[in-house]
C-alpha cells in the first residue's frame, strides 16, 4: 500500500519536475501559466497531463496537432516514481524520506538541465545547501557538524580541482555550478559521501568519455557536463555509501 502511494506521489512530483526543467532555464514562473503544447500552444488538459499514463494513451503525441511529446517527460516521471519507491523502502514514511526525496528530485532536475544547457541553476543548488543543513538538525541520518563539513569539503575540494585544471590547461573544465552542486551533496550526505561521490563520478565520467571517443571515433575535445555524473555518484553514495566505505575499509585493513 505504502509502495503504491509512494510511486503515485513520485510520478506526480516527476510531472512537476518536468515543468521546472522546461521553465527554470528560461526564468519563467513554474506555477503560471498552465502547461501548453510547444508546437501548437494549446493548453494541455488535466486528463492529458496524468503522469506516465497520458503519454502512453496519446502514444507520445499531442492530442490536437499530433506533434511529438519528448520522451523526457515519461522518463523523468518514471525515474522520480522509482526514486520515491526506493527511498520509502530505505527510510520508511518519515522526515528522512521527505528530505532525501527532495534531494534526489533536485538532482534529477539538475541532471536534465545540465544535459540540455550545460548549466546548473543556482536557484536549485544554493537553496539546496540550506535545506540539507536544516535537514541535519531534524533527521537521524546525519549530524549538523557532518553536514557542515560536507559543505566545506564539497565546495572547497571541487573549487581547488577547478582552479588547478584551469591553471594547467588554460581553459575552464568545471564550472562554478559543479562546485555549488557538490556543496549541496555534502550538505545532505556528509563529508565521507563527498569523497565517495568525487571518486564515483570521475570513474563514471571517464568511462563515458572513453566510450563516446570510441563511438565517435575522434578526439574528444568539448567538455561533457559534469553535473549528471556528480548526481549519479551522489545517488549511489546515498543508497550504497555505507556499504562501499565498509567494504573498502575491510579490504584495506
Ligand atoms: Zn500540439
Please state, in angstroms and rounded to a whole number, the distance separating the CA atoms of residues 188 and 100.
8
Helix, strand, coil shares of the chain as percentages rounded to 5?
A: 75, 0, 25
Per-residue pLDDT tens for 15-47?
A: 999 999 998 888 878 777 788 888 898 988 888
C-alpha 24 – ligand 1 centre gap (Å): 22
| pLDDT at residue 200 greater than cutoff 60 | yes
Q: Are residues 208 and 245 in contact, defined by beta-carbon separation less than 8 angstroms?
A: no
pLDDT over 60 at 180, yes or no = yes
Cα gap 64→73, rounded to integer Å: 18
CA contacts within 13 A on the Cβ side of 231: 20
Cα(114) to centroid of ligand 1, in Å? Answer: 26
> For 34-38, 87-91, 120-124, 238-242, which range has the lowest pLDDT when averaged over its residues?
34-38
Q: Which three cell numbers stand for residue 45?
A: 488538459
**Angle in degrees, CA 56, 93, 74, rounded to 5:** 15
Mean pLDDT of 195-199: 93
Ligand 1 centroid to Cα of residue 201, in Å, is: 38
**Distance of CA 11 from the midpoint of ligand 1 (Å):** 23
How many Å lie between the centroid of ligand 1 and the Cα of residue 69?
A: 9
- Quick one: average pLDDT of 91-119? 95
Between 241 and 173, name the one with better pLDDT.
241
**Residues, beta carbon < 5 Å, ion ligand 1:** 37, 39-40, 62, 64-65, 67
pLDDT at 60 over 80: yes
CA distances to 13, 29, 31, 179, 194 from 190, rounded to whole Å, are 26, 32, 33, 15, 7
Determine the distance separating the centroid of ligand 1 and the alpha carbon of 9, expressed in angstroms: 27
Average pLDDT of the segment spanning 176-205: 93
Amino acid at each position: 500500500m505504502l509502495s503504491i502511494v509512494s510511486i503515485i506521489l513520485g510520478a506526480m512530483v516527476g510531472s512537476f519536475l518536468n515543468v521546472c526543467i522546461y521553465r527554470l532555464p528560461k526564468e519563467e514562473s513554474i506555477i503560471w501559466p498552465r502547461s501548453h503544447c510547444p508546437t501548437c500552444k494549446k493548453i494541455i488538459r488535466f486528463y492529458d497531463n496524468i503522469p506516465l499514463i497520458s503519454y502512453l494513451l496519446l502514444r507520445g503525441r499531442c492530442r490536437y496537432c499530433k506533434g511529438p511529446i519528448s520522451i523526457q517527460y515519461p522518463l523523468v516521471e518514471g525515474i522520480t516514481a522509482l526514486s520515491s519507491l526506493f527511498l520509502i523502502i530505505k527510510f520508511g514514511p518519515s522526515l528522512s524520506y521527505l528530505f532525501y526525496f527532495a534531494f534526489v528530485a533536485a538532482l534529477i532536475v539538475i541532471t536534465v538541465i545540465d544535459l540540455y544547457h550545460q548549466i546548473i541553476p543556482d536557484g536549485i543548488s544554493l537553496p539546496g545547501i540550506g535545506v540539507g543543513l536544516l535537514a541535519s538538525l531534524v533527521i537521524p541520518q546525519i549530524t549538523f557538524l557532518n553536514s557542515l563539513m560536507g559543505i566545506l569539503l564539497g565546495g572547497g575540494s571541487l573549487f581547488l580541482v577547478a582552479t588547478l585544471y584551469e591553471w594547467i590547461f588554460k581553459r575552464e573544465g568545471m564550472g562554478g555550478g559543479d562546485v555549488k552542486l557538490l556543496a549541496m551533496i555534502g550538505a545532505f550526505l556528509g563529508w565521507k559521501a563527498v569523497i565517495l561521490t568525487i571518486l564515483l563520478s570521475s570513474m563514471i565520467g571517464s568511462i563515458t568519455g572513453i566510450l563516446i571517443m570510441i563511438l565517435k571515433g575522434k578526439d574528444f575535445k568539448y567538455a561533457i557536463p559534469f553535473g549528471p555524473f556528480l548526481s549519479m555518484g551522489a545517488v549511489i553514495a546515498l543508497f550504497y555509501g555505507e556499504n562501499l566505505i565498509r567494504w573498502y575499509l575491510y579490504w584495506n585493513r
